[in-house]
Amino acid sequence: MHADGIQGYNKPLEKKAMQYLMKGEDFAMVRDVFGSDVFSEAVMAERLPKNVFNIIRKVIYEGKPLEASTADVVANAMKDWAIERGATHYCHWFQPMTGMTAEKHDAFISPTRDGRTVMEFTGKELIQGEPDASSFPSGGLRATFEARGYTAWDCTSPVFVKRDGKNTTLFIPCAFCSYTSEALDKKTPLLRSMEAMNRAALRVLRCLGNTTAKSVMATLGAEQEYFLVDRDFFAKRLDLSLVGRTLFGAPAPKGQEMEDQYFGTLHDRVGTFMHELNQELWRLGISAKTQHREVAPGQYEIAPIFTTANVATDWNQLMMETLQNVALRHGFACLLHEKPFAGVNGSGKHNNWSMGTDDGLNLLEPGNTPHDNMVFMVFLCAIVRAVDKYASLLRATVASAGNDHRLGANEAPPAIVSIFLGEQLTDIFEQMANGKADHSKQKDNIELGVSSLPSLPKDSTDRNRTSPFAFTGNKFEFRMCGSALSTSGPTFIFNTSVAEVLSEMADELEKSKDVEKAAQKIIQRIAKEHKRIIFNGDNYTEEWREEAEKRGLPNLANTVEALATVMSDENVKLFEGQGVLTKMELAARTEILYEIYTKAINIEARTMLDMGRRDILGAAHRWAGRLARTARALDGSGHASDSVTKNLQTATKLCDALDVSLEKLEDVINEASRGGNAEAQAIAFCEKVLPVMEETREVADNLEQIMDAELWPLPTYSEMLFLR
């Protein structure tokens, strides 16, 4: 090559090298940034006197009580650390039944007599807060005049500093309960369920000869799906702004049929958004790891590395909030709704769940020969039994107005709960049901037929993307959870129901003289009794629906059907027996879920009325008027047009149809809102209002497809899904 040519290349090369250098800097930054806003164990070790640090570790890991004097020292260290990071306030951060998080900020200031201030934060302020509870959903647990509620520091989830604009605050993860100590939040039952699981799992482990584990924790890694749409489009649509999904909108000519979005290249703007998102999450110690484009246009996913279920749930809440905040800064709106757009995939949240011991053992790790891994087999069977026995309950924990659009809609798992075990484990299960399992099918290698490509070890099971509850190597992946829902619900139900089955097992094992034999017997019994819940085929097919019905598996099609099963005696006994929820708490939560469902549909329907009348009908009338004027003008010119006449007829017909439909919608909303208990109202909204909403949408979508594009008042699916 000509010397000049090489020289000519030098400039861009220099630029490239600079970019690499910057990447190198970024790498150093990730290490520095990661966890920099978390009052982690490492920070505590550095900042607390050694004896206090040892005490606080005992409080966190062994549940020992926290003395007031220790709390004062810890609070003071937290305050100094937070102030160094620019914090002026602290807040108790909790998760009421709204599904959102709540925070009330207090400044550290404490005025002195001479008119100045010192910065103070006491142990009492750290441990306990007393927000007015009367404006949070309580499901009748507390009347407005009994307003007291308490927040209590959950020291198992680390304290952190959060920056909102210029406001920097010390966040203290908390549980939230009523004056009479009923749980009013999503965290308390989760923590109770983790303790229940720990107790039961340790008993079983001891029986099976494990003497080293001190505790067993539920672990969780939640994959979060979301959509990004341009903020300008979002602002022009009342439906997206108020309810997070499009209530109107004809399909775009292109959807996801080319299968070209999944894992597709990132657009620059989205890449930049993700970069900042990761930085923010890493600061908070959230191990955001995986990111990619999803199946639908404009849809993405992010997943952190798993951690204990309690912290993972806090992380997921923070992740949802951070997604939305960072999106706005980049001119996007982040949609967390389960079904923002009709006709393309909705968004879910895959809850990867397992159980691990404090000394690092994953109890769902099968090893090479699962059939003779007794610990694995026993815990696997416990899960199989728990999921079969409490399938309806599991279904009910993911019931919401939003998720109803997704479950069973041929893109997400159906509303029928079943378990995918894969070939190897199903084979072992069958061997057990017929007597004793004595071999495990072995893994092969994958040969690509090209000598330069490596031979790949094959997993023992293929993936099954259609199963609601799939064994994926060394964990279960629960895929029914909606993208907007807290991971607390499904997780505390797994924990509690598995704890229940493990307690039954422990009762049996502790009594037996020959543990090995007793365990075999249990496994065999479960393999026989709960075979029906295992299904490895395609869960999206009609045949599976029929088959599931034959097997007697519940198929609860929507939220009201699912919630109707919650208050069964069996469920009450489960929750009370494991100390997770009292009957009253369970009833209150169910009532809240009914109320939230009703309110969600009520708001959607009223938004539809508003948009239907003021945006769409108004525009359609203008269109009809324009056509009428054109028709008259053309007539006058002696060139009457059939297409104008035809369009005018269609326009007036559709305008009238939309008007009729909107009138009807208003009537059914009013009718459904009339009295009745929470359940009756929810049923009325489900049965009366939803179908009329669908009718109304159909008319409007027809209008959109033929109306003058210039007059259509809303951003279209093509614009929202494809413009970046």
Q: Which is nearer to Mg ion, 162 or 350 (CB)?
A: 350
Tell me how far, at minimum, the Cβ of 444 lies from ligand ADP, in Å.
20
Binding flag, residue 475, Mg ion (CB under 5 A)? no
**HEC letters along 195-251:** HHHHHHHHHHHHHCCCCCCCCEEEEEEEEEEEEEEEHHHHHCCHHHHHHCCCCCCCC
Binding flag, residue 290, ligand ADP (CB under 6 A)? yes
Residues in contact with ligand ADP, counted by CB under 6 A, come to a total of 17
Binding flag, residue 22, ligand ADP (CB under 6 A)? no
Stretch that binds Mg ion, among 153-161, 164-172, 348-356, 517-525 (CB under 5 A): 348-356
User: Where do we find the tokens 């630029």?
Assistant: 15
Q: Which is nearer to ligand ADP, 137 or 221 (CB)?
A: 221
Binding flag, residue 79, Mg ion (CB under 5 A)? no
Query: In the chain, helix, strand, coil percent, each to 5?
Result: 50, 15, 35
CB of 565 within 8 A of CB of 393? Answer: yes
Q: DSSP for 614-644, please give it.
A: IIIIHHHHHHHHHHHHHHHHHHHTT---HHH
Distance CA 613, CA 239 (A): 13
Tell me how far, at minimum, the Cβ of 351 lies from ligand ADP, in Å.
8
Contacting ligand ADP within 306-325 (CB under 6 A):
306
Among 188, 193, 198, 219, binds ligand ADP (CB under 6 A): 219
Binding flag, residue 541, ligand ADP (CB under 6 A)? no
Q: Is 135 helix (H, G, I), strand (E, B) or coil?
A: coil
CB-neighbour burial class of residue 143 (10 A; exposed 0-12, middle 13-18, buried 19+): exposed
Stretch that binds ligand ADP, among 189-197, 411-419, 472-480, 525-533 (CB under 6 A): 472-480
Q: Which is nearer to Mg ion, 302 or 665 (CB)?
A: 302
Tell me how far, at minimum, the Cβ of 168 lies from ligand ADP, in Å.
29
Binding flag, residue 420, ligand ADP (CB under 6 A)? no
Tell me how far, at minimum, the Cβ of 492 lies from ligand ADP, in Å.
15
Binding flag, residue 300, ligand ADP (CB under 6 A)? no
Contacting ligand ADP within 323-352 (CB under 6 A):
352
Residue 451, number of CB atoms within 10 A of its CB:
5
Stretch that binds ligand ADP, among 102-110, 302-310, 575-583, 609-617 (CB under 6 A): 302-310
Q: DSSP for 54-114, please give it.
A: HHHHHHHHH-----HHHHHHHHHHHHHHHHHTT--EEEEEE-BTTSS-EEEEEE-EEE-TT
Which pair of tokens denotes residue 703? 């209008």
CB of 107 within 8 A of CB of 88? Answer: yes
Binding flag, residue 220, ligand ADP (CB under 6 A)? yes
Distance CA 383, CA 714 (A): 48
Binding flag, residue 350, Mg ion (CB under 5 A)? yes
Distance CA 183, CA 302 (A): 30
Binding flag, residue 349, Mg ion (CB under 5 A)? no
Judged by beta carbon distances under 5 to 8 A according to partner kind, the member of ligand ADP, Mg ion, none in contact with residue 475 is: ligand ADP
DSSP 252: P
Stretch that binds ligand ADP, among 468-476, 615-623, 657-665, 671-679 (CB under 6 A): 468-476
Which among 645, 608, 641, 639 has a CA at the least distance from the CA of 624? Answer: 645
Judged by beta carbon distances under 5 to 8 A according to partner kind, the member of ligand ADP, Mg ion, none in contact with residue 431 is: none
Among 17, 21, 305, 723, binds ligand ADP (CB under 6 A): 305
Which among 446, 384, 388 has a CA at the least distance from the CA of 421? Answer: 384
Q: Which is nearer to ligand ADP, 357 or 403 (CB)?
A: 357
Tell me how far, at minimum, the Cβ of 355 lies from ligand ADP, in Å.
8
Binding flag, residue 221, ligand ADP (CB under 6 A)? yes
Binding flag, residue 697, Mg ion (CB under 5 A)? no
Distance CA 48, CA 39 (A): 11
Tell me how far, at minimum, the Cβ of 467 lies from Mg ion, in Å.
11
Q: Which is nearer to ligand ADP, 353 or 594 (CB)?
A: 353
CB of 657 within 8 A of CB of 573? Answer: no
Judged by beta carbon distances under 5 to 8 A according to partner kind, the member of ligand ADP, Mg ion, none in contact with residue 303 is: ligand ADP
Residue 633, number of CB atoms within 10 A of its CB:
11
Query: Which residues does 210 contact at the CB level (< 8 Å), separation at least 6?
Result: 357, 375
Q: Which is nearer to ligand ADP, 151 or 483 (CB)?
A: 483
Tell me how far, at minimum, the Cβ of 463 lies from Mg ion, in Å.
9
Among 36, 98, 156, 362, binds ligand ADP (CB under 6 A): 362
Q: Which is nearer to ligand ADP, 280 or 477 (CB)?
A: 477
Query: Which residues does 354 contact at the CB level (< 8 Å), separation at least 6?
Result: 218, 219, 306, 362, 363, 364, 474, 475, 476
Contacting ligand ADP within 222-251 (CB under 6 A):
223
Rg (CA), the chain: 29
Contact positions vs Mg ion (CB under 5 A): 350
Binding site for ligand ADP (CB under 6 A): 219-221, 223, 290, 303-306, 352-354, 362, 472, 474-475, 477
